[in-house]
Amino acid sequence: MLESDTTAIILYLLTGSFAGFSAGLLGIGGGLIIVPALFFIFSLQPYDTQYVMHMALATSLATIITTSISSTLAHHKKRAVLWPVVIILSPGICAGAWLGAHLASQLEVTILKPAFGLFELFVAALMLNPKQNKPDTHRQHPITIKPLNAISGGGFIGMLSAMVGIGGGTLTVPFLHWHHVAIKKAIATSAACGLPIALFATASYLYSSLQLTEKTLSSSHSFGFIQLDAFFLIAVSSFIFAPVGANTAHKLHGKHLRQIFAGVLILLGLKMLFF
């Protein structure tokens, strides 16, 4: 158990700061850091263990709403966001995010936790693939993505992102990179795609959680699956640090960004699987 509310507040602020910086740096929306951190923090508080992972997922997605806005604005100032790509992916992303959150709300924590860890390791392996280490100077972003690819790809990104509580960058970045978008523009565009994911997934988690009895999720500090203290403190600190990460991203080589991206995923994936 946590010794005091002050300890929880400090942990929320640290989580938000690191997640915000990572969101701006890697375009991952912060969820890959926020979810395992909140799972650990909530596990030390008097919450029903049956819903701790669901609370971590929903609260993470709620904070990503503000993080994605901050990160997107920073990338937009660098003229790195491909807005036509964001628009064409959004319909599939929104539908997938709502469905993914609804499905995750029905799953047990014993399934969600290891699934989250394996997902992180899988994406890390993809990003470390030597074929992904070609110089970005040979990549140019496409004018359009075929509608079928946009709907199916966006739907898959939205659904899986909602199920694991992330802003979608771990899927959107590789998806765009495979469609010949330079890594820095892929990161910037994925940050913008994180907003519709977070909005629709959060709404879906709330819809599912509010159908539970008040006794099941009784707490003056929560609204359905969303823990309000964590949401506010992480949202504020991540909003502040996201532009710092975005500015740093434009100073680093694309290959180094991929290596950092994969390293973070491996560490957190192993933690969710074995700790």
- Give residue-wise pLDDT tens across range 81-105: 999 999 999 999 999 999 999 999 9
Average pLDDT, the chain: 83
- Give residue-wise pLDDT tens across range 118-173: 887 887 887 787 665 555 544 554 446 888 999 999 999 999 999 988 888 778 88
- Give residue-wise pLDDT tens across range 165-175: 888 877 888 78
pTM for the model:
0.82
Give the mean model confidence (pLDDT) for residues 61-70: 87
> Where in the chain are the domains?
5-274
pLDDT of residue 243: 82
pLDDT higher than threshold 70 for residue 9: yes
Helix, strand or coil for residue 114?
A: helix
Beta-carbon contacts of 222 under 8 Å, excluding residues fewer than 6 positions away, are 55, 228
pLDDT of residue 145: 82
User: Where is 98: in which H helix or E strand?
Assistant: helix 83-105
Backbone angles phi, psi at 165, to 5 degrees: 70, 35
Beta-carbon contacts of 253 under 8 Å, excluding residues fewer than 6 positions away, are none
Q: Which residue has the higher pLDDT, 46 or 236?
A: 236
Backbone angles phi, psi at 223, to 5 degrees: -125, 100
